[in-house]
């Protein structure tokens, strides 16, 4: 099969490229900054496309020509203060991908959605794909993911000949994605090694986390593509992690801090540009429901290789060691590189793209 993947140079995109290539498929990788044509991802046919540009529709239609499926992974997380750009990329980019896929006659589109599309959970009882998907209103990421799914609904109604699937994974981790993650959450002057020396974890103990490994998400996406199925699929590894699990993995002592205080601190520090994660992410962490991924296991034959505790351990190890990969977005994070880019005004929290 010929499979086109937007966001192919990112955390999930690289895992999916590896999985598809290993299965003998032809991979068309689409990214704003493609990696070198030689090396680990040299067998991918790369296309440089900025989904917010006026040329994106034409470029995508050409890249999608002859594709059996399009997997849309591209999404933006920063700059968090530029909501208009994130909306143009997330919602506008999804609309452009769907339009180009239709123009190219692609029969199957798979959209990477998110746990964030779901309305708040009531308790820790796992919910399936029928749970309301109105999102978490205070989180721009959640609102944009909901809007992107509504676009999928519209296209499905207008083009019944096109099979449309959406995956809704929980928090995704892997060692090689750590440098990319660090750039989003840690100031440039702070070395990754600081994560080895956290004496306390100041957080509200109501937090619970589900995780899934990027390679397991990639296997689910590959199964969706190969079986040409539609609909929604929750993706979560076994295990529900709580604050004590997180503190133990960090080697820290849990310090109970009320969520209300955490929200004020997160919001004020974000508004002051002291850190680049808006308070909406905190709201999602405490409000999203626990997911039941039974449909993926039954209909896709999906069995995740890694449980949540293993994903957490690998991801934390990657964060401490600045784990990285051979693509621009996942390049190794160093303080020197971060400070240089800050001096040049090219940090993820400051960049302004056309």
Residue 104 phi, psi dihedral angles, 5° rounding:
-85, 0
Q: Is 161 exposed, middle or buried (0-12, 13-18, 19+ CB in 10 A)?
A: exposed
Measured in whole angstroms, the distance separating CA 334 from the mean position of its chain's CA atoms is 22
Check: pTM over 0.85? Answer yes or no. Answer: yes
Across the 354 residues of the chain, what is the mean pLDDT of every consecutive 10-residue run?
Answer: 97 97 98 88 96 96 97 94 95 98 97 98 96 97 98 96 98 90 74 80 96 98 98 98 96 96 96 91 97 98 98 93 88 70 58 47
pLDDT value of residue 193: 74
Residue 95 phi, psi dihedral angles, 5° rounding:
-60, -40
pLDDT value of residue 348: 57
pLDDT value of residue 197: 79
pLDDT value of residue 352: 46
pLDDT 10s digits, 302-342:
999 999 999 999 999 998 888 888 898 888 877 666 666 66
Q: Across the chain, what does the average pLDDT equal?
A: 92
In degrees, rounded to 5, the angle at the alpha carbon of residue 324 between the alpha carbons of residues 322 and 326 is: 155
E strand map for the chain = 2-6, 26-31, 45-48, 69-72, 108-112, 163-169, 171-173, 200-203, 208-209, 211-213, 231-235, 241-242, 253-256
Domains and CATH numbers, the chain: 2-343 (3.40.50.720)
pLDDT value of residue 353: 47
pLDDT value of residue 36: 86
Strands 208-209, 241-242: pairing is antiparallel
Residue closest to 253 by CA, chosen among 195, 312, 199 = 199
């Amino acid at each position: 099969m010929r499979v086109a993947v937007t966001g192919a140079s990112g955390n999930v995109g690289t895992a999916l490229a590896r999985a598809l290539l290993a299965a003998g498929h032809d991979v068309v990788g689409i990214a704003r900054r493609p990696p070198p044509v030689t090396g680990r991802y040299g067998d991918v046919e790369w296309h440089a496309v900025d989904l917010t540009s006026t040329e994106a529709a034409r470029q995508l239609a050409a890249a999608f020509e002859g594709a059996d499926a399009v997997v849309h992974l591209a999404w933006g997380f920063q700059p968090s203060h530029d909501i208009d750009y994130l909306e143009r990329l997330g919602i506008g980019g999804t609309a452009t991908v769907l339009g180009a896929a239709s123009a190219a006659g692609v029969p199957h589109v798979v959209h990477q959605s998110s746990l964030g599309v779901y309305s708040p959970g009531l308790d820790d009882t796992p919910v399936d794909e029928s749970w309301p998907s109105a999102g978490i209103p205070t989180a721009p990421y959640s609102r944009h993911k909901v809007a992107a799914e509504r676009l999928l609904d519209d296209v499905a109604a207008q083009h019944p000949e096109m099979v449309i699937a959406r995956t809704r994974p929980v928090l995704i981790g892997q060692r090689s994605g750590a440098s990319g993650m660090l750039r989003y959450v840690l100031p440039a002057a702070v070395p990754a090694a600081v994560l080895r020396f956290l004496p306390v974890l100041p957080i509200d103990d109501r937090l619970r986390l589900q995780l899934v490994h990027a390679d397991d998400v990639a296997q689910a996406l590959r199964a969706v593509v190969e079986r040409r199925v539609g609909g929604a699929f929750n993706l979560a590894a076994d295990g529900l992690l709580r604050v004590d699990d997180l503190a133990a993995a960090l080697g820290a002592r849990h310090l109970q801090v009320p969520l209300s205080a955490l929200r004020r601190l997160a919001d004020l520090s974000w508004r002051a540009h002291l850190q680049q994660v808006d308070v909406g992410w905190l709201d999602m962490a405490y409000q999203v429901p626990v997911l039941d991924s039974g449909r993926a296991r039954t209909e896709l034959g999906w069995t995740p290789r890694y449980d949540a505790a293993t994903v957490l351990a690998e991801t934390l190890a990657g964060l401490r060691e600045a784990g990285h990969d051979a693509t621009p977005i996942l390049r190794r994070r160093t303080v020197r590189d971060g400070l240089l880019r800050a001096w040049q005004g090219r940090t993820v929290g400051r960049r302004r793209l056309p």
